[in-house]
Structure 1
Amino acid sequence: MAVYTGENCSLARTLEIIGERWTLLIVRDAFYGVQRFADFAAHLRIPRAVLSERLALLVSAGVLAKTPGAGRRELYTLTDKGIGLFPALRALVAWGDQHYAPDGPRRHFRHADDNGEVDLAGVCQLCGKSLAVRDYLVTTGPGASPADASADAVTRALATPRRLLEPITP
């Protein structure tokens, strides 16, 4: 990992970790509960060599942790450092929804306890509670395509409301 060691700009250093193509999509999917290499690859349709490189970078930067799973499979989960990226990711999604989603957002972020809308500051508009990431429910929005039975496991899982960070299992 070649961080801008001579650079005193936090944004430049951050972009060295998460600024590559695919990296934020991997992080987004980790928030959705994706943990297995094969699920990242199938959902993102990313070349396996690129996925392997990006996962290794995120692990070495402390954004993801790699742990043994069933058999020889490894699981990738967000660390506290990675979870700290959620406000930035959420803001980028909202900006994309505003400017590049003519049919409306693909996903809505709601409060899991009362289904209230959650603003960009992470506050439930129904109860006023400031939410932790695990308190978010992701639901389909008007811009989502209907999932079919032949879709990958992640697409099928996201077709129904689910908490962020809840593992997607095959």
Structure 2
Amino acid sequence: MALGTGYRMDDCAIARTLDVVGERWTLLIISYLFFGLRRYSDIRKRLGISPAVLTQRLNGLVEEGIVARVPGAGAHDEYELTPRGETLWPVVSGLAQFGNKNYLEPKFRQDFTHHQCGTSLDDTGYCERCQVVPAARDVDRQPRPVDLEPAYTPTRGTEPHRLLGPLPR
């Protein structure tokens, strides 16, 4: 029997949110938008996702007001998170921290730092030094230890990168 779509629970905030971001690939797309990917082709290449699924997910996120389609530098549009989409940062950060702790070897773990002071954020996204939970725009993603190994081809860059900023070309 095929699984249905949607949770049909209008009075449950988690179910309503999962209706929007809970499909396979959707949170990964959102995370890559936080990490600086903006072009359809870059997202597709990084995820290895089919064009039909990526188009469907992006269109759904645009329709929900989580992602905006904006003019790109060339002939193609790009995608970026809206202010509404940026409020998903604690979800993405929490999933990243959970994965770091439970599934990844240390060399593959991602570290996030507060842009203002350079302090690593704890598992809840809190900066102990400044005593704040910074917004995504105030967070830098650090290179993973594996990205700095000479024999490894980095997939995420070898320099710190501010979230929501475009990746250097």
TM beyond 0.5: yes
- Deviation track 1:59-109 (CA, whole Å, cap 9, x = no partner) reads 001110011223430110101111000111111111111111133553100
2:73 counterpart residue number? 70
Q: Which residue of 2 aligns with 1:139?
A: 142
Aligned letter for 2:141? Answer: V
Instruction: Tell me the C-alpha RMSD between the 2 structures.
Output: 2.2
Task: Output aligned runs, 1:48-59, within 5 Å.
Answer: 48-59=51-62
Which sections of structure 2, spanning at least 5 residues, go unmatched? none
TM-score (norm 2): 0.85
- With 137-146 and 48-57 compared, the bigger mean Cα shift is at 137-146
Check whether the contact 1:32–1:165 (CA below 8 A) recurs between aligned residues: yes
Runs of 4+ residues deviating >6 angstroms = none
Q: Which has the higher contact order (CA 8 A, sep 6+)?
A: 1
Deviation of the 1:145 alpha carbon: 7.9
CA contact (8 A) 2:96 2:110 kept: no
SS across alignment from 1:40 = helix
Residues 18-54 of structure 1: CA deviation (Å, up to 9, x unaligned):
1111110000000001111011011111111111111
1:21-170 → structure 2 map (5 Å cutoff): 21-103=24-106, 105-142=108-145, 146=149, 148=153, 155=155, 158-170=157-169
Q: Is the 8 A contact 2:110 2:141 kept in 1?
A: yes
Alignment: residue pair count: 163
CA distance in 2 between counterparts of 1:104 and 1:14 reads: 32
TM-score (normalizing by structure 1)? 0.84
Structure 1: stretches of 5+ with no match in the other structure:
none
Give the Å deviation of 1:143. 5.7
